[in-house]
Structure formats: structure tokens, C-alpha cells
Structure 1
Amino acid sequence: MKIAAVGDNCIDLYENLEKAFPGGNPVNVAVYFKRLGGEASYTGVVGDDEYGKFMIDAIRNKGVNVSNIKILPGETAITHVELVGGERILGDYEEGVMKDFKISDEDIEFFKAHDMVVSGLWGMIEEDLYKIKERGIPIAFDFANKLDSPIVEKTIYDVDYAFFSYDGGDDGFIREYIKKNYRKGPKLIIVTLGEKGSICYDGTRFVYEKAIPCEVVDAMGAGDSYIAGFLFGVLSGKEIKECMKMGTQNASTTIKYCGAW
């Protein structure tokens, strides 16, 4: 099993702790997928600064293929983070060289050696997602909690596994939202509900999975861990309920330590 994680990366800078951690949605998914025993690559761009070198070295040290990372003159993206009682408070985001990221035809050829492409809302690939779809490569996409983002309507038609997060619980609104977007093409729509668990819709039924109670040290990367676990289950041929359990277990591991990984 092999995924190609594509898109954003950033340094999570915890200024109150005076610590910096590598991260970014697709980067995290790649690292967590590898942690579960799969293979992963990361395609993105970093600056030619110290943080860029730090990012590449950190990803490589986790066993993720970094051969398709590009280095551009400039600064690696940074997200300023404050940790308050286990909850991460996201501050300013400095985009750096990520603003110039765009996948190429050569990148898409690289993706063909993988079982799935994984990206997300800030991955900067929404304009070219259809090209990956045309190659017959399954696509997983994380829309985070941006249910009203125009990127949802732009990309949902090309996505096979659509992930969202929602803090309102398993209510009528989110179920109708899921059904509406399912009709646009995804095989599965999965919504994480934080401590309220997660739900998945396959076109005929909703499946619910409860969260695992545990002490939260840092919630950074919890959603990305869930995605990695779920997709590991999908590529292993597991049933939906088991995929959800794998995602939940993976997330419960991540929130027990500081930083995404």
C-alpha cells in the first residue's frame, strides 16, 4: 500500500514553548500512514532556508519518500501556534514559497506509481485535481471544517474519499450536507466530530464510530491521523466500520504528545 501525499507543508511554531515542529495536512497523513506500516511519498515545496532543510530531513527520517519535494528560493511556510490546555490555537500563517506551488505533468506521472493521492484544502492543487482523476488514481481530500469553501464545489466531483470536520455533532444539518455532496461523486464521505466521534456515509447508510476517551496533550494532527488510519483500512480492504476504528485509534495515539509527530 502506497499513498502520494501532495500539497501544503508548514512549520508549526509554538512560540510559548519555544519549539518548532514539522507539519502540514498531507505531510502529516504521509507520516502517520507510514507509522501504520504503509508506504508514502510527499510532493510539495519548501524554501532554501533552515526550516526547509529541517522539514525535508524530518520527513525523510520518518521513512517517507522525499524525492519529489522541490526547493525554491525563499522561506518555508510557518503557522504560529499557541497551546492552551491541550487545545491548539492557530495564529498567523506565513505562506512563503507555498504560494508558488503547482503540480506538474511530471508530478502526476510520479503519482501513478501509488495506490492513492491524498491532499487537502490548502494543498494548492484544486485547479489540477481533475488531471489526477483522469489518470484513474483514487483521490482522498480533506476539506477540514470549511464546509462553505468554494473549493468544496470545485473539487468534490473528482474526490473519491471526502473528509470533513464538524463540531456540531451528529445532527440533521451535517447529514443533509453529506447527502447533498455525496450525490456529486465521492464513494465515501467521512466527517470527524471531535470528541463526539465520526460518521461515514456510503450512499445507503450512515455509520457511526465513537471517540476513544483519553487525555489530550496536543490536538495537533488528530484529524490527519484519523485520515491516515481510515485510508490504511480502505487500502487494506477493510469494511467501513473497521476503517473508522483504525482512524480513531490512530488519532487517539497522536493527541497524547506535543506536536503533530
Structure 2
Amino acid sequence: MFSTLLSPGRTPGSVVTLGETMALLTTPTGGRLRSGAGVPVGIGGAESNVAIGLARLGVRSTWISRVGDDAFGALVTREIRGEGVHVAAHLDAEAPTGMMVKELRDGRPWRVRYYRSNSAASRLGPDDIDPRAISDADVLHLTGITPALGSEPLRAVEYAIEIARRSGTLVSLDINFRATLWSAEQAAPVLARIAGAADIVFAGPEEAALLLGWPPPTGGSTVEHGEELARGLIGLGPETAVVKLGALGAVGVTAEGAHYAPARSIAVVDAVGAGDAFVAGYLSELVAGASLLDCLRMGNVLGGAVCQQPGDWEGLPTRAELTHPLPAGDVVR
């Protein structure tokens, strides 16, 4: 069983995440930011998306970060805390909370711009981390975004992994390569090193190829190619490698073999956040002691759920919604 990865004696059901969450401005459909269109303000961040997804499924989750001592910082911490996530975010009086702007066309994301240079989270360092938050957790979840923010965030990631290794806490890494933050040449060796220190690595086909130094896939990836990439990632050091294949589903590989879970066909409204939702679903099953195949299946369920409504995390389901789904067309009155 995949549950043998979890340290004996722990109470299953606790995950800690580490990374930046920003204020998110989304233009209305057909609206242009430069035209002065009214823009609602929300939040978004890969690691907090995962933490929120886990909390909605009843898994105890913690989000570690650094935010500006400003209105956006207050919004970010209030929203995440309101979702039942424990927030461990230091306030920075000298740097602002980051911001991203998502422009829509025909109801779908068209362009996303980030304003995160010199943000509070770019100053996130080892001193912002309470070691007990990691040592008391079952899983530490990281992404490749945090080390891309600067040298101090990279040190924070390395320190968090060091604590996890000493404590027997599993390390989960979603590659999440962001070309706007660093080049492929800069990212590949750093992310490969972090992947080698992780227990579980998640990647898309292009990201896996980047770490392995393989040619990027052309014409779309196949299940067979996904398995080949996952086996390549295992060679870097993790016990489990998962390649997310979008509409095809996901492939997971361990030393014991490979498993494939197909995704259900859905009508996609907004795919942003689907990868984070997949990780949340996967980790929710992992901390419950489920098999690798069941982890993949739950990842697909959550990834698909998020794709069916606008927003990075708003479509994440609760455990009750998964257990007792409404038939199509039914209304609760």
C-alpha cells in the first residue's frame, strides 16, 4: 500500500504549505483593464490553493508565508483563514503584498500579469518558518514557484526540507515552472536538486522534460510518454513521481510499478488552478492511507471540479459535496 510512506505513530491528516499568495484582480468578460473596467479583487497562490482544497476536504492544513502590512495582505490572510486554513504569515512593513491581474476573453483567461518583484513574499526566509509547523505535519508541500522568487525564498525551501527530513515529514513538490520568474536554464538544476530531496514530485509533461533535459513533447503527450517521463523523474530521487496529463488524467510511478487514472470528460470553463486542485485531492487521499491509484483518482476529481467554474480555487468541493452530489438539474430549497 502507498500508505507505508507515512511515518508510523502520526495522526493522518495534516499538511503544511509554503509560498506566496497574491491579490488577484480579474477583469469581467469582454472588459479591458485599460478601459477602466470594474475589477473584482480576490486572491490566488499555488500553495494556498492546495491548502484550501485540503481544508475543504477536512484535512488540517497550514500555510506559511510573508505578506505586506497592507490592505492586500489583510485580504489574503482573511480569505485563507476563512477557509479553515491555519495561517502562519509574517507581516512585512517594508514590502507590499504581490498582485496578479487576470484578463478574460469570451469568459476564459487570456492573459495573466504578475506584479510580485520585491514583494513581501520575495523576502520570505528561514526565519519566517516555525520548525514545529513542519515537524508536526504529515506532509510538507512545496512548489517550484517559491525558489524562483529569490535567494531568500530558496533558502526557506531548503530549510523547510531539512526540517522535514529530520522529522520524518514527507516532502511533496509540484514543479510549477514559471517562465516569467526565471529561465529554463536557471530553473532546471535548482528544481532537479529539490526534486531529488522530495518524496513525491508532481509535474506536467513539459516540466518533467525540463528537469530531465529531454526535448519538450510536441503534438500533445500520451499516457505512455507520461509514464516514461515519470520513470525519468524517479531517477532523480523521489519515491513517487506523478505526471499530470490534463484531459487524459494522470500517471503515477513508484519502484513497484506504474498506475494510470483517466480523467472524466468535462466542459472546461477555467483551467487555472486545476493542477493545484489535483495536488490537493491527491494529498487528501495520501494522508488517509489510500493507494497510489486512489490518490490519482481523487486528484482527477478535484482538478475537474475546479475547471468547471471561474476562479483559481473557488470551485474546490467540500467532502460533503463529493459524498452526496446533486443530480443534474436538482435545486436545494
Structure 2 vs 1, CA of residues 129 and 175 (structure 1 numbering), >3 Å: closer, same or farther? farther
Query: Which residue of 174, 177, 200 corresponds with 1:142?
Result: 174
Contact (CA 8 Å) 1:145, 1:166: kept in 2 or not? no
Match of 1:131 in 2: 162
CA offset digits 1:41-74 (Å, max 9, x no partner): 11001111111100011011101111x1111023
Q: Deviations over 1:85-109 (max 9, x none)?
A: 5643443211121110113385222
The question of whether the paired residues in 2 share the 8 Å contact of 1:72 and 1:97 is answered with yes
CA distance in structure 2 between the partners assigned to 1:150 and 1:9 by the alignment: 25
Q: Equivalent of 2:288, from 217, 220, 236?
A: 236
Aligned to 1:156: 195
* 1:30 alignment partner in structure 2: 51
Q: CA deviation at 1:110?
A: 2.2
Which ranges of structure 1 fall in alignment gaps of 5 or more residues?
none
Q: How is 1:245-260 mapped onto 2 (pairs within 5 angstroms)? A: 245-260=297-312
Residues 153-232 of structure 1 mapped to structure 2, 5 A cutoff: 153-166=192-205, 168-170=220-222, 174-232=226-284
- SS of structure 2 residue aligned to 1:71: strand
Matching residue within 107, 111, 116 for 2:130: 107
SS for the counterpart of 2:145 is coil
1:71-86 equivalent positions in 2, closer than 5 A? 71-73=91-93, 74-85=95-106
**Partner Cα distance (2:27, 2:128) in 1:** 39
User: Per the alignment, in what secondary structure is the counterpart of residue 199 of structure 1?
Assistant: strand
**Cα displacement (A) at 1:238:** 0.9
Whether the aligned pair in 2 keeps the contact of 1:83 and 1:218 (CA below 8 Å) is no
Q: Runs ≥4 in structure 1, deviation > 6 angstroms?
A: none
More helix by share: 2
Structure 1 counterpart of 2:24, from 5, 12, 21: 12
> What is the DSSP-based 3-state SS (H/G/I as helix, E as strand, rest coil) of the residue aligned with 2:50?
helix
Give 3-state SS (helix, strand or coil) of 1:41's partner. Answer: strand
Query: How far apart, CA to CA, are the structure 2 residues paired with 1:86 and 1:238?
Result: 37
Q: What one-letter code is carried by the residue in structure 2 that aligns with 1:114?
A: A
Q: Specify whether residues 112 and 23 from structure 1 end up closer, same or farther in structure 2 by C-alpha distance, changes over 3 A only.
A: same
Q: 1:58-97, aligned counterparts within 5 Å?
A: 58-66=79-87, 68-73=88-93, 74-85=95-106, 87-95=108-116, 96-97=119-120
**Segment of structure 1 superposing worse, 89-98 or 242-251:** 89-98
Distance 2:121 2:230 in 1: 30
Unmatched 5+ residue regions in structure 2?
1-12, 30-38, 147-152, 179-183, 207-219, 315-333
Structure 2 Cα separation of the partners of residues 105 and 69 of structure 1: 8
The CA deviation string for residues 121-141 of structure 1, in whole angstroms up to 9 with x for no partner, is 112344334413233211111
- Once residues 82 and 199 of structure 1 are traced to their aligned partners in structure 2, the CA distance between those partners, rounded to angstroms, is 32
Aligned-partner Cα distance in 2 for 1:128–1:2: 19
The separation in 1 between residues aligned to 2:161 and 2:299, in whole angstroms, is 27
In 1, Cα distance between equivalents of 2:167 and 2:198: 13
Contact residue 163 and residue 190 of structure 1 kept, 8 A:
yes
* Cα distance per residue 1:146-186 (max 9 Å; x no partner): 78633322201210110112363226654443223212321
How many residues are paired up?
Answer: 260
Provide the rounded CA distance (Å) in 2 between the counterparts of 1:99 and 1:50. 18
Is contact 1:79–1:92 with CA below 8 Å preserved after alignment? yes
Sort the Cα spacing of 1:215 and 1:171 in 2 relative to 1 into closer, same or farther, 3 A: closer
Alpha-carbon distance in 2 for matches of 1:165, 1:232? 20
Q: CA RMSD in A?
A: 2.2
- For residues 138 and 241 of structure 1, what CA distance do their matches in structure 2 show? 18
